[in-house]
């Protein structure tokens, strides 16, 4: 790659800045092709979430504003948060969400605190993806604790809780609902279903998803015709992960491909994966980027990040500037330079002739190409040569470039003729993104 193209990249950056300034008009809705989310003006919404699960519990309102401003500055547009945390948890004012753990006895003071933070996020044009009642994987949630509070409250009170939450928060536009939480619904199927139905009946304008057990998606555990389930959330760790319930965790692109091929079509986002700063060496900034790019290039409409911040404990500020979190804005900047909603994952592997490495490993290179075959994107997790079938692109001349997902640096090249297998060598030992664009100024014969 011989020559940087400054004019091309100046246009690229200007386009990126322009799109980034667009205000999102909530609430979100589903795109006509059911592959991604859009706002009320039909502008695509690339879901970029941070896992702030204990936000309502662990921070004062002043601290919450500091946190939200930081994440907005870093390019996040969504925060995952538990509305009622887990039984026995209290906010900074010592308030719990319910009186005597009774779903029909909400603590008004507690919910007023939540109201103010939801309103605060709205003023910053940020969405909160809120889990009304955390099911939990780990014997501490509303359905899994020894006290079995969901079962004790039963189906009717679960429905009424859904109605209460829906009626209270339907006035806020910046919300998406997450049912469940780190588990499948089978032991409490009807209680969970009734809560979701009550929520949807009271608040039909906001989308609802389900957060299942790791390696499962929303549509793995609910029927295709479940009336309240609007969008899907995928969740997995990595191959070799040993702490999950089933001991087998596919990589992010594997569950993404599986979800993309399902019928009926629903938008899906990567709802959770390996957190930065957890699980030893796998909790690296590199793994964070792998997960995000794998998700987007396997057909997702967005991705989610996590770190030990999720606990929102006394050291919460120390987790806000981890390198992975700071690098994710560069994914958004890149995807804003082309129509990312037109990307289709190259599940068949037609674009990469050689160099994608073994499937179902943590070093696999994923690729996607736009429907008009004018742009292709390949995420390369480690140093290698990638041989590309350029004939997959529709045009005469190809403008290749390498994009640094850690810094946003772009390295361009002179155009090449389309129609040949071409070898591209990644610039160094780190992860890179290979972007292939058809030169639209040269017409195809």
The pLDDT of residue 248: 84
Percent of the chain with pLDDT over 90: 90
| Cα–Cα dist 366/238, whole Å | 15
CA 66 and chain centroid, separation: 22
Task: Give the start-to-end residue ranges of the domains of the chain.
Answer: 22-340, 346-438
pLDDT at 410 over 60: yes
Strands 432-438 and 375-380: antiparallel
Percent of the chain with pLDDT over 70: 94
Average pLDDT over residues 192-215: 98
Average pLDDT over residues 399-414: 96
Q: What is the DSSP letter of 106?
A: B
- Cis (ω within 30 of 0) for the bond into 27? yes
Least confident of 138-147, 228-237, 372-381: 138-147
What are phi and psi for residue 175, nearest 5 degrees? -130, 145
Average pLDDT over residues 202-224: 97
pLDDT at 429 over 50: yes
pTM for this structure?
Answer: 0.94
The pLDDT of residue 241: 86
Average pLDDT over the chain, rounded to whole? 94
Average pLDDT over residues 307-317: 97
Per-residue pLDDT of 342-370, as tens digits, reads 999 999 999 999 999 999 999 999 999 99
Top pLDDT among 87 and 19 is at 87
The pLDDT of residue 60: 98
Please check whether residue 52 is in contact with residue 68, taking contact to mean a CB–CB distance below 8 angstroms: no
pLDDT band at residue 445 using 50, 70 and 90 as cut-offs: low
The pLDDT of residue 263: 96
Per-residue pLDDT of 26-63, as tens digits, reads 999 999 999 999 999 999 999 999 999 999 999 999 99
Q: Give the homologous superfamily in CATH for domain 22-340.
A: Glycosidases (3.20.20.80)
The pLDDT of residue 22: 87
Per-residue pLDDT of 319-335, as tens digits, reads 999 999 999 999 999 99
Average pLDDT over residues 375-387: 98
Per the DSSP assignment, residues forming a β-bridge with 416 are 398
Q: CA nearest 20: which of 359, 382, 335?
A: 335
Number of other residues whose CB lies within 10 A of the CB of residue 165: 25
Per-residue pLDDT of 73-118, as tens digits, reads 999 999 999 999 999 999 999 999 999 999 999 999 999 999 999 9
pLDDT at 309 over 90: yes
User: How distant, in Å, are the alpha carbons of 123, 395, 443 from that of 417?
Assistant: 49, 9, 12
**Radius of gyration for the chain, computed over Cα atoms and rounded to the nearest angstrom:** 22
| Cα–Cα dist 214/137, whole Å | 9
Q: CA nearest 79: which of 30, 130, 37?
A: 130
pLDDT band at residue 305 using 50, 70 and 90 as cut-offs: very high
pLDDT at 12 over 80: no
pLDDT at 19 over 90: no
The pLDDT of residue 414: 85
Number of other residues whose CB lies within 10 A of the CB of residue 24: 20
pLDDT at 273 over 90: yes
Q: What is the CATH number of domain 346-438?
A: 2.60.40
| Cα–Cα dist 58/100, whole Å | 21
Please check whether residue 66 is in contact with residue 77, taking contact to mean a CB–CB distance below 8 angstroms: no
CA 203 and chain centroid, separation: 23
3-state secondary structure of 362: coil
The pLDDT of residue 21: 58
Total number of residues shown for the chain: 445
Top pLDDT among 22 and 73 is at 73
Residue 326 burial class via C-beta count within 10 angstroms: exposed 0-12, middle 13-18, buried 19 and up: middle
pLDDT at 13 over 50: no
pLDDT at 282 over 60: yes
């Amino acid at each position: 790659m011989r020559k940087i193209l400054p004019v091309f990249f100046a246009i690229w950056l200007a386009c990126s800045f322009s799109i980034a300034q667009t205000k999102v008009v909530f609430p979100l809705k589903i795109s006509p092709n059911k592959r991604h989310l859009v706002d009320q003006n039909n502008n695509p919404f690339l879901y970029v979430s941070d896992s702030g699960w204990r936000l309502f519990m662990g921070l004062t309102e002043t601290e919450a504003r500091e946190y939200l401003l930081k994440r907005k500055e870093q390019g996040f547009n969504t925060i995952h948060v538990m509305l009622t945390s887990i039984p026995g948890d209290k906010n900074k004012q010592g308030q719990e969400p319910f009186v005597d753990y009774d779903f029909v006895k909400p603590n008004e003071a507690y919910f007023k605190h939540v109201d103010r933070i939801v309103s605060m996020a709205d003023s910053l044009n940020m969405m909160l993806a809120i889990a009304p009642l955390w099911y939990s994987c780990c014997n501490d949630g509303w359905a899994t604790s020894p006290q079995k509070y969901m079962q004790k409250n039963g189906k009717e009170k679960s429905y009424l809780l859904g109605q209460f939450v829906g009626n209270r928060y339907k006035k806020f536009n910046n919300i998406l609902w997450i049912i469940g939480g780190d588990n499948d619904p089978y032991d409490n199927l009807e209680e969970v279903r009734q809560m979701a139905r009550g929520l949807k009946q009271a608040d039909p304008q906001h989308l609802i998803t389900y957060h299942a057990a790791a390696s499962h998606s929303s549509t793995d555990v609910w029927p295709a015709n479940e009336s309240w389930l609007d969008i899907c959330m995928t969740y997995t760790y990595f191959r070799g992960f040993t702490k999950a319930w089933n001991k087998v965790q596919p990589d992010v692109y594997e569950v993404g491909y599986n979800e993309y091929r399902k019928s009926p079509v629903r938008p899906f986002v990567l709802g959770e994966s390996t957190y930065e700063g957890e699980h030893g060496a796998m909790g690296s900034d590199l793994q964070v980027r792998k997960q995000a790019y794998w998700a987007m290039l396997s057909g997702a409409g967005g991705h989610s990040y996590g770190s030990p911040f999720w606990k929102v404990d006394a050291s919460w500020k120390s987790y806000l500037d981890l390198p992975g979190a700071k690098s994710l804005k560069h994914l958004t900047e890149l995807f804003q330079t082309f129509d990312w909603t037109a990307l289709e994952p190259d599940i068949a592997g037609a674009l990469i002739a050689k160099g994608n490495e073994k499937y179902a490993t943590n070093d696999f290179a994923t690729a996607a190409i736009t429907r008009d075959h004018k742009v292709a994107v390949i995420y390369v997790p480690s140093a290698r040569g990638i041989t590309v079938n350029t004939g997959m692109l529709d045009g005469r001349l190809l403008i290749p470039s390498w994009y640094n997902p850690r810094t946003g640096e772009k390295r361009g090249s002179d155009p090449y003729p389309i129609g040949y297998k071409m070898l591209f060598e990644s610039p160094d030992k780190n992860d890179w993104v290979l972007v292939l664009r058809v030169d639209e100024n040269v017409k195809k014969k």
